[in-house]
Amino acid sequence: MHPEIERQMAAQRVEELRRAGAVARLRSATPRAFREAEVVIRLARPQDALAVEALAVLDEVESPQSRVLVAEVDGQIRAALPLDTKHAFADPFRRTADLVALLEARAQQMESERNGHHGWAWRSVAALRRLV
């Protein structure tokens, strides 16, 4: 091979490696993959209506007309549970089975509290620990 062609090929390869190194440094600088996500289970607020409706459309279910419990991960609503039907819906493109289980456990706990039964509360903590 001609020395000039070899030199150009080597220069191209060095540039590719530099770019790949820069991309790798950028990826390693984001600690998101290594930190735990913040999960919040709460009642939906009026300002959540659009996000809940978008989630229902994404999961191809009817938009809920009652109070809704939501599971929020890092500030994004990923799963919801209407309190009247108890049929959860969630983002079908993410792992949400644990979120749905948390929503169901919280709904059951709220129902128990409403009915005056507080004996179940200690069991819910153990159930939630098994999910994590």
pLDDT single digits (tens) 45-77: 999 999 999 999 999 999 898 899 999 998 899
Number of domains in the chain: 2
Asked whether the predicted pLDDT for residue 33 surpasses 80, the reply is no
Question: Collapsing DSSP states into helix, strand and coil, what is residue 72?
Answer: strand
pLDDT of residue 83: 92
Do 112 and 54 share a structural domain? yes
User: Comparing 16 with 82, which gets the higher pLDDT?
Assistant: 82
What is d(CA 102, CA 73) in angstroms, rounded to the nearest whole number? 12
Q: How confident is the model at residue 115 (pLDDT cuts 50, 70, 90)?
A: confident
pLDDT of residue 98: 93
Residue recorded with tokens 């080597």: 10
Token pair of 99, please?
A: 């979120």
- Domain with 92 in it: 37-131
Question: Collapsing DSSP states into helix, strand and coil, what is residue 30?
Answer: coil
Do 62 and 44 share a structural domain? yes
User: Comparing 109 with 34, which gets the higher pLDDT?
Assistant: 109
Do 12 and 61 share a structural domain? no
Instruction: Report the 10 Å Cβ neighbour count for 128.
Output: 16
Do 112 and 62 share a structural domain? yes
Q: State the alpha helices, DSSP H only, in 78-120.
A: 97-114
